[in-house]
Amino acid sequence: MDFVDAIELPYSCRELFEVVADVERYPMFLPHWHRVRILRCDGGRLLVEQLLLSGFVPIRFRSTALLEAPHRISIAVQEGPLRQLRIEWRFTATAERACRVEVRIGMEVASSLLRRSFKVLLGDSGNRLLGLFAERAQRVYRPPARP
């Protein structure tokens, strides 16, 4: 199961990198992300535990995120019910305050039940995943004006 998407946004690569790297905030704006905890941080490498609730079964896994600010984030599953999970984020400046964000997700799941669960997760949020991160960036970097 593979997914690729890209978008250009009116933020710096550093700003968008920081939004994506702030994994513990994912449950605030990503559907089905119930809990995300950083278990260990060694420089630019994070060990992250995630719990996703998709309606079929809870999916708990650990992943390693390699942060190469502000241009790349690579994520790989370390432990859990997934045979393989690779997520690659790339941030490329296109203007002074604009950035092209590309995300590539590749995964293999062990069972048909998990496959259906991930189809729900990616079907609900995968097609609009970058839009959800764009909305988060707008809330973080351009908060609404107060009356």
From the options 3.30.530.20, 3.90.1150.10, 3.40.50.880, 3.40.50.620, give the CATH code of 2-141: 3.30.530.20
Look at residue 141 and tell me whether its pLDDT is greater than 80: yes
Contact 81, 51 (CB under 8 A): no
- The region that residue 124 occupies, defined by phi over 0 for left and psi between -120 and 50 for alpha, beta otherwise, is alpha
- pLDDT digit string, tens, across residues 57-68: 788 999 999 999
pLDDT of residue 36: 97
Q: What is the pTM of this model?
A: 0.87
| Domain layout of the chain by residue ranges | 2-141
Question: Considering just the CA atoms, what is the radius of gyration of the chain in Å?
Answer: 15
